[in-house]
Every structure is written in structure tokens, then in C-alpha cells.
A and B are shown apart, each in its own frame.
Chain A
């Protein structure tokens, strides 16, 4: 069945780069998304990548997609304390608006 897996926790020092990883099982993914959730808040769409792309860059964010290995990563350059949050990757299957979410990666940025 459809499944999205993420590591639970990542801690980095302010100014360093963060890399959050995600794996998915669905072969018919069309788009993959990264969302950010701060405490007590809803989900904020950060970026997305189409399944036929390998890489997408958006300011401090770089998304890498390895479709063969079904592996997605989000790199945050120059990580700031305001980046501390839970990050979710989500998979959208072909012909559907249903999103399958991972369990989230909690990013802690140390001063």
C-alpha cells in the first residue's frame, strides 16, 4: 500500500545546512510536497517537485528526488532558529488530490 517514511528527529547548529530525508512506496506519484508545521499551527506548504524532475531550488530550499530509489530530500541552507519545526513530506498519487503524509521530522536548530 501507500506509505511515506521519515526519520523522527534532526538537530543542527544555527548556520549549518539541514537535510531531511523521506522515502515513499508509491510508483504512480505525480507530485511530492514538503510542508512545515510550527507548534499549535496548521501546515505551511514550503515547496513541491514534479515526479519527472531531479532537483528544484527555491531560495534556501533545495529538493532532490531520486525516483528510482523513491527517495526525496529537503536541504535547508543556512538554517536559522526560526526553521525549528516539524517537516512533513507528502506524496500525491496519479489522478488524485489525496496526499499521503509521513509522520514528520522534528528539526531543532541550536543557537
Chain B
């Protein structure tokens, strides 16, 4: 069974640029959630996708957007990068329909905005 993978591992961008982060869900999982973890903080929920549709969103501006593909892999896109976007971005996959809804996290992408 393949776990959750994310790419790239690290990324450096400058203010105003755009970035795309990628996530491959654990085999058999149809739901993916994205979280932003600033240094020294817990993860903050960005949004969730279920069967290619956005299924819930946290307090993030519209310049944070996402996609989920038919194979349940996912992208997080951030436009007009700001310095405060520097963080570890985590994706988590889960299988909808299970009452526990355990979310399994990938290793994350470390984004630095200069």
C-alpha cells in the first residue's frame, strides 16, 4: 500500500509569484485535505476535496485554490505569493464513508517566499 506523497519537498519563490504543489493520495482514498503549518504552529485547514469537488474551506483567501483529479491526486495553487505564505504545506488523504475519517498525512512541502 502506497502512502501519501507530496512534491516538491522544498520550494523557494519570490513575492507575487505563483506556485503549484502536488499530492498523491494513499491508495483507495477518495478525499484529500490541505493544511498550512506555519513555524511553531499547528496545521490550519485550507480546504478539502471529495470526488473532484471542493467539500469545505477554511479561512484562506481565494488566491488559494485547488484541484482533485479522477485518480484522486491533488494540486494546491497559490497566486500572488506573500511573505506570510512561507510554511509547510501538508496534504492528507482519507476514505470518505468511514465513520472515523482517519486522515493520513504526507511529508509536506516546505515553501519559502522571499
A residues neighboring B (CB under 8 Å) = 4, 31, 33, 35, 41-45, 48, 50, 88, 90, 92, 96-104
CB distance from B94 to the nearest CB of A (A): 6
Q: Give the interface size class of chain B.
A: 20 to 34
Provide the residues of chain A in CB contact with B16, threshold 8 Å. Answer: none
Q: Contacts A96-B56, A98-B58; is A41 near B42 (CB within 8 Å)?
A: no
Complex Cα gap A10–B71 (Å) = 42
With A43-B92, A88-B43, A90-B42 given, name 10 new contacts (CB 8 A): A41-B107, A41-B108, A42-B107, A43-B43, A97-B31, A97-B33, A97-B101, A98-B33, A99-B33, A102-B42
Q: Are A103 and B40 in contact (CB under 8 A)?
A: yes
Q: Are A101 and B42 in contact (CB under 8 A)?
A: yes
Which residue on A lies nearest to B42, using beta carbons?
Answer: A101
Q: Are A97 and B94 in contact (CB under 8 A)?
A: yes
Complex Cα gap A4–B103 (Å) = 18
Option from B6, B43, B104 in Cβ contact (under 8 Å) with A101 = B43
Q: Are A45 and B103 in contact (CB under 8 A)?
A: yes
Provide the residues of chain B in CB contact with A99, threshold 8 Å. Answer: 33, 35, 43, 45, 103
Q: Are A97 and B90 in contact (CB under 8 A)?
A: no
- Check if B12 is an interface residue, CB within 8 A of chain A: no
Identify 19 residue pairs between A and B in the complex whose beta-carbon atoms are under 8 Å apart, listed by A's number: A31-B100, A33-B102, A41-B107, A42-B4, A42-B105, A42-B106, A42-B107, A43-B92, A45-B103, A45-B104, A48-B100, A98-B45, A99-B35, A99-B45, A99-B103, A100-B45, A101-B35, A101-B42, A103-B40
